[in-house]
Chain A
Amino acid sequence: MLRWPRLGLSLGLAFLLTSCDDLFQYNPNEETLLDRDKDLTAKNIARISQLPVSDTTRFILMGDTQRWYDECEDFVRSANQQKNISFVLHAGDISDFGLTQEFKWVNEIMTRLKYPYVTVIGNHDIVANGSATYRKMFGPLNYAFSFGRDRFIFVNTNSREYAFDGSVPDIAWLKAQLADNPGHQNTIVVGHVPPFDADFDKNLEKPYTDALASDPTVKFSLYGHQHRFYEGQFYDDGVNYHLTTSMGARGYMVVSTWEGGYHVERVNF
């Protein structure tokens, strides 16, 4: 008779330990991830590559989920109502404090999307152990992939986090990626901090924008960071810069691309 409560206790303890992986926490900056939370960029690109390609590719650009979880849940509900979306691009500032816990919470919400999502790193994601966690959870800070007629280049543009040491954004890497386009696909460069922002290295602004402008396959480039919708051809060089707003401002963009053209639509939720 005595065994039953003991069995119950050990079962209860086992349940607590397995069902709740966050029951014990060792440090706010710990980088503990389950396998299902690792290498999300590669996993989601693999999902995207399985999607059917049509004449027009439609995707969502959203960003700055930092400490706006309730709003991000509303975004997911709104995004899931959209038609013919292939995937979602997160323009960075996934987390606010660079904590692994925050990355996990945002991923938990974003996995409720009907679509795969990929991310670019934001300045808040680099704070403390943030960039180390980003590497483990998502993948490289600079990467590229192709889908249909489009080639997406994700580049870390958060120069201030590196004390404007000239290493970020990595212009040489960006140029190599732009050059590696034998199929002449539309190239869409995605970053967090736009080149005209004070957090972008002033010494790299011209090399960066020139690199985009000198590539005829680059028609537009996508960003977040300023928590507002903003767009324009700021350098009079044929490249349009589009900024999506934050989750706190309850907005995102639907981008459609086709051969020789694209369209950007703002959505408020």
Chain B
Amino acid sequence: MKKYFLSLLLLLSLHGMAQEVGLRPRRAWYLPDHLKLQFAGNIGFLSGGPGYVSRNKTLETDLLFGFLPQKYGGDALVTTTLKTTYSPWRIGLRDSYYIRPFSIGAYLSYTFGPQFDTKWPSYYPSGYYWWATAIRPGAYIGGKAGRNVVLNNRRRSFELYYELGTYDLLIISYVQNKSFLKLPDIVSLSLGVKFGFD
């Protein structure tokens, strides 16, 4: 028993040492790896929230809470979004700057409101409308630029990103109307910042 206890102590102290030299992050596994704030992109005027990143830093998954004020949207809308972005390449630059030139991702958004449905009410025959008005799947490509910094002796990163995205209902409209609709008609721009706790 004592032996186990000692090895546990040893492990803990090793863990503590590792933290001091900055080899492992001090944060618990469930704490988010970053926070994002995004402008536009069909998930709110502004949306923000926590996210996680894969160990090799190429895959980010975010949970964003978005709000569209009536002033900018004609209707005040609240949206939650789960999005995943894959940015396979990193190009390091001087002064700890870097760019990730290409990102591709997808999202699923849910907009709250009694006028939106996930399941159509029973007074519609089944399949009367085939899409759910509350849930929108979408996809985007983009890129980002960032910088690693040290704040209060902790490694942090700042990133700016842009995304060009669209969603299911616009894609099907485009596919069936390639004469009237051009790709820019269904694509919109979003911009965002990411603050990473590396």
Interface residues of A (CB under 8 A from B): 20, 22-33, 67-70, 72-73, 96-102, 105, 109, 127-129, 132-133, 136, 160, 163-164
Contacts and interface: CB of A to CB of B under 8 A. Distances in A.
Contacts of B169: 28, 96-97, 99
Given A27-B73, A128-B133, A160 B124 contact: yes
Given A22-B188, A33-B74, A97-B131, A28 B136 contact: yes
B191 to A, nearest CB: 9
B61 interface: no
Nearest to A164: B123
A31 B180 contact: no
Nearest to A32: B74
A206 B181 CA distance: 43
B175 to A, nearest CB: 10
Interface residues of B, number: 43
Contacts of A127: 129, 133
A98 B133 contact: yes
Given A29-B133, A105-B181, 7 more contacts: A27-B111, A31-B75, A70-B176, A70-B178, A70-B180, A105-B185, A129-B75
B197 to A, nearest CB: 28
A25 B188 contact: yes
Given A127-B133, A164-B123, A109 B73 contact: no
20 contacts: A22-B188, A23-B189, A24-B190, A25-B42, A26-B40, A26-B68, A26-B73, A27-B42, A27-B79, A29-B75, A29-B113, A29-B116, A30-B75, A69-B180, A70-B177, A72-B180, A99-B169, A102-B173, A128-B115, A163-B121
Nearest to B120: A127
B104 to A, nearest CB: 19
B110 to A, nearest CB: 11
Given A26-B72, A27-B43, A129-B75, A67 B172 contact: yes
B181 A129 contact: no
B133 A68 contact: no
A164 B123 CA distance: 8
Contact of A67 (B133, B173, B189): B173
B161 interface: no
Output the residue of A23, A25, A31, A133 with the most chain B CB within 10 A: A25
Interface string B85-121: 0000000000000000000000000010101100001
B68 A28 contact: no
